[in-house]
Amino acid sequence: MSLLAWLCQLSSSSLRYPHSTWGLRRSGSRQFVKHGIVRTSLDDRALKKSDPKPRLIVGIDAEQWVNEAWHLERAGLFVHDTENPMLWFIFCRLARLYGAAVAPLFVRSGAHVPGPRLDSSNSPVPPDHPIFDEMRKFVKAFGFGWHQAPAEALSELSLMNRLSHVDVVISEDSDALVYGAAEVLRRVDYLGSGTITADAMQTQVISDVDLYPLTRGSMLLVALLCGSGDLQPGVDGCEFEVAHKLSRTGLGDRLLDAATTMGATAFRNYLNSWRKCVKRELETNAKEVLDHPYITLSNNIDTSWPNLEVIKMFTNPITSISEGIRFPAAVREAANLGELARLSEFHFSFGTPIGVLKEFESRILPGVAMDALIQHTVGNISTDELKNIASITRFCPFSNRTETKYRMEVNLVPAINAVLNSLAGTRAPVDDVDVVAYVENMPEVRAKWLGWKFSWSIAHAIVQEYLLSIVNCTQN
* 327 and 420 assigned to the same domain: no
How many domains does one find in the chain? 2
* 195 and 165 assigned to the same domain: yes
* 306 and 423 assigned to the same domain: no
Domain end point (choices 314, 333, 352): 333
Q: How far is it, in rounded angstroms, from Cα 60 to Cα 8?
A: 20
* 328 and 398 assigned to the same domain: no
- Tell me if 21 is assigned to some domain: no
- Tell me if 20 is assigned to some domain: no
| Domain carrying residue 222 | 1-8+30-333
- Residue 204, exposed/middle/buried by CB under 10 A (0-12, 13-18, 19+)? exposed
- Tell me if 17 is assigned to some domain: no
pLDDT in tens, 360-411: 999 999 999 999 999 999 899 999 999 999 999 988 876 565 678 899 999 9
Domain end point (choices 307, 333, 359): 333
In contact, 416 and 442? CB cutoff 8 Å: yes
- What is the pTM (predicted TM-score) of this model? 0.89
pLDDT the model gives residue 80: 62
* 297 and 344 assigned to the same domain: no
- The amino acid sitting at 23 is G
* 164 and 44 assigned to the same domain: yes
- Tell me if 65 is assigned to some domain: yes
- Tell me if 128 is assigned to some domain: yes
- Tell me if 150 is assigned to some domain: yes
- Tell me if 99 is assigned to some domain: yes
In contact, 183 and 206? CB cutoff 8 Å: no
Q: How far is it, in rounded angstroms, from Cα 396 to Cα 407?
A: 8
pLDDT truncated to tens, each residue of the chain (476 aa)?
A: 444 443 333 333 232 333 434 433 333 433 344 456 889 999 999 988 877 667 899 999 999 999 999 988 888 776 565 789 999 999 999 999 999 999 999 999 999 888 777 566 667 888 899 999 999 999 999 999 999 999 999 999 999 999 999 999 999 888 898 999 999 999 999 988 889 999 998 876 666 555 566 789 998 999 999 987 667 788 999 998 899 899 999 999 999 999 999 999 999 999 999 999 999 999 999 999 999 999 999 999 999 999 999 999 999 999 999 999 999 998 899 999 999 999 999 999 999 999 999 999 999 999 999 999 999 998 999 999 999 999 999 888 765 656 788 999 999 999 999 999 999 999 999 989 999 999 999 999 999 888 888 888 888 899 999 988 888 877 66
Q: 237 φ, ψ to 5°?
A: 90, 0
Residue 223: CATH number of its domain: 3.40.50.1010
Question: What angle is formed at CA 217 by the lines to CA 215 and CA 221, rounded to 5 degrees?
Answer: 115
- Tell me if 372 is assigned to some domain: yes
Q: How many C-beta atoms lie closer than 10 Å to residue 108's C-beta?
A: 19
* 251 and 375 assigned to the same domain: no
pLDDT the model gives residue 24: 33
* 317 and 349 assigned to the same domain: no
* 288 and 367 assigned to the same domain: no
Contacts of 360 (CB under 8 A, 6+ apart): 337, 340, 341, 344, 415, 419
Pairing mode, if any, of strands 102-108 and 145-148? Answer: parallel
Q: How many C-beta atoms lie closer than 10 Å to residue 232's C-beta?
A: 19
Contacts of 469 (CB under 8 A, 6+ apart): none
* 362 and 312 assigned to the same domain: no
Domain end point (choices 296, 313, 333): 333
pLDDT in tens, 211-221: 566 789 998 99
Closest CA to 83 of 124, 131, 123: 131
Contacts of 29 (CB under 8 A, 6+ apart): 211, 212
3-state secondary structure 165-193: CCCEEECCCCHHHHHCCCEEEECCCCCCC
* 308 and 380 assigned to the same domain: no
Q: What is the dihedral of CA 213, 161, 34, 290, to 10 degrees?
A: -30
> Across the strands, what pairs with 102?
56
Q: How far is it, in rounded angstroms, from Cα 372 to Cα 363?
A: 16
3-state secondary structure 307-364: CHHHHHHHHCCCCCCCCCCCCCCCCCCCCCHHHHHHHHHHHCCCCCHHHHHHHHHHHC
Q: How far is it, in rounded angstroms, from Cα 247 to Cα 221?
A: 6
* 351 and 406 assigned to the same domain: yes
